[in-house]
Amino acid sequence: MAKLSVVMAQVNPLVGDIEGNTQLVLDQVRLAQSEHDAELVLFPELVLTGYPPEDLLLRPSLDKRISQALERLKKELPQDVYVVLGLPLKEANKLYNSAVVLFAGAELARYHKQKLPNFQVFDEKRYFTEGHTKAVVLDIEGITFGITICEDVWHDSPVADAVDAGAQCILNLNASPFHQNKVTERHLLIEEHCRKHQISLLYVNQVGGQDELIFDGASMAVDAQGNRVVLAQQYQEMLVPLTLDAEHDRVVISGEVVDELSEHASVYQALVTGVRDYVNKNHFKGVVLGLSGGIDSALTLAVAVDAIGAERVEAVMMPYKYTSQMSLQDAEAEANALGVRYKVIPIEASFNAFMTMLEDEFEGTQRDTTEENLQARCRGVLLMAISNKKGYLVLTTGNKSEMAVGYSTLYGDMAGGFDVLKDVPKTLVFALSRYRNTVSEVIPDRVITRPPSAELAPDQKDEDSLPPYDVLDEILRLYVEEDVSADDIVVQGFSKEDVYRVVRLVDLNEYKRRQAPIGIRITQRGFGKDRRYPITSGWHIGE
């Protein structure tokens, strides 16, 4: 009976840092040996470049840098451990998304990814050629392994081909981005393969944030009965040990299954991970945000503190005459609860200065949203000045519901570098705020329960301009995430007036979203790489 000690290396590579990622592989293999007596170590997809490397894959020096990294690994890796890792490889002037198996200073096998995703946030066909070798299998200490890469397991043929070639266990290397309920989706998919083909499968995934994408790890192993017998923690860099025992024609897996995070805990940790990696990987000293006393900025502040620590976070309340005493009190309470630096900088003087400067331009006109937007722009100027002076990243606080319908001000509350809640609908903002308060109470209850308001005009409430958020968010989910037409949304029981108004606002405000900061993706379709709509368009509502 063959027995093999395996470690899945759930790591957080830095995109483009081939030298640093190579060192990461070396360090993790040595650690896997010293801590777990590893005989086989698996790394995620494209670990040497990080994922997604985007147009770095088109750089002329890529092939040279990868070749140098591969040679270094062959020389410096321990000679008695098998290492499987992902990297881009060029053959016959074609670039492949590949995996190699290294042992004793040699490359034992290489596999090219067969199924290239080209949807949602993926555009691998822009860079890679599909692999045409049906299967790569190899024997390691008496167990026959097949190799696949990420999207391959979302199709049957790559797994079936490996099984037909004799594989008892599939090694699947991944850079699989997070969205809500993704861990369950992966398990159900892998479970189906394992039961159908009576094989086991090891699924290693990377962790960390890369611009708008979050990788949640949750590496797993599933046996031939479809049981998830190993599950790693989400959002944590870690070595995941397991043992494989070959008994006749099947492989028995032993390891640890951690408790899966709840939906709200998982989304919250995705936001924390995204902020932490964006700030740290881009070498910002800290972050600054406008703290309004409302729920969006309160949740953003909590995420920021959990991501990088209170000592690197500054919150600024910028009141005007429409700012309520309640908002001033709640903003101060939030800042004190989280222990951040807190400043109050009134904007009345700057607003009045702008109005004086614009007096001739505005002569004969009535007060309208222009003056409301000017308040937001005064605040944006202040935050960007603090950012420039202190080297801080400005976190904007707009949520997905607002971004969808344009309930935001260009160069005002949209000014900044990173939008934490960009893909978080307002109803989920409320749920996440309640969840965060179960950890420790940092958001005053009345911030969660009172009607949301931008406080740019007397007695203003969001629902004066928008449908109730539970209605708005469901219309937006259907239209933006599910691509349901306006008329078909109406058929589902929504008011035609509401639906047509919301859809029209979504379409009209594409120009704003193109100029908005990037933000963390947590749904199956966010605003960004997922959804690429023209600004200038003759498309009509209902189509």
Please identify every residue annotated as catalytic. Answer: 45, 113, 150
CB atoms within 10 A of CB 539: 9
Q: Which residue carries 């200073």 as its tokens?
A: 105
Distance CA 520, CA 305 (A): 16
> Is 176 within any annotated ligand binding site?
yes
Distance CA 44, CA 106 (A): 20
Phi, psi of 85 (to 5 degrees): -145, 160
> Is 368 within any annotated ligand binding site?
no
> Is 364 within any annotated ligand binding site?
no
Q: Which residue carries 């470690």 as its tokens?
A: 7
Number of alpha carbons in the 13 Å side-chain half-sphere of residue 145? 28
User: With contact defined as beta carbons under 8 Å apart, do 263 and 290 qualify?
Assistant: no
Which residue, among 129, 92, 137, has the nearest Cα to 112 in the 3D structure? 129
For 346, residues 6+ apart whose C-beta sits below 8 A from its C-beta are 318, 319, 320
* DSSP code for 150: G
**Helix 182-197 / helix 157-164 crossing angle, nearest 10 deg:** 30
Helical residues (DSSP H) of 282-347, grouped into ranges: 295-308, 325-338
> Is 182 within any annotated ligand binding site?
yes
User: With contact defined as beta carbons under 8 Å apart, do 162 and 197 qualify?
Assistant: no
> Is 63 within any annotated ligand binding site?
no
> Is 292 within any annotated ligand binding site?
yes
> Is 294 within any annotated ligand binding site?
yes
User: With contact defined as beta carbons under 8 Å apart, do 250 and 168 qualify?
Assistant: yes
The three-class DSSP label of residue 136 is coil
User: With contact defined as beta carbons under 8 Å apart, do 266 and 234 qualify?
Assistant: yes
> Is 296 within any annotated ligand binding site?
yes
> Is 161 within any annotated ligand binding site?
no
> Is 361 within any annotated ligand binding site?
no
How far is C-alpha 404 from the chain's CA centre? 19
Q: Nearest 5 degrees, angle CA 433-CA 438-CA 443?
A: 40
> Is 308 within any annotated ligand binding site?
no
Per the DSSP assignment, residues forming a β-bridge with 143 are: 140
Strands 418-419 and 392-396: parallel
> Is 64 within any annotated ligand binding site?
no
* DSSP code for 105: T
Token pair in block for residue 381 = 């100027």
Which residue, among 383, 384, 361, has the nearest Cα to 371 in the 3D structure? 361
Binding-site members for L-glutamine are 176, 182
Binding residues for deamido-NAD(+): 373, 402, 512
Q: Which residues are annotated as a binding site for ATP?
A: 290-297, 397
Binding residues, as ranges, are: 176, 182, 290-297, 373, 397, 402, 512
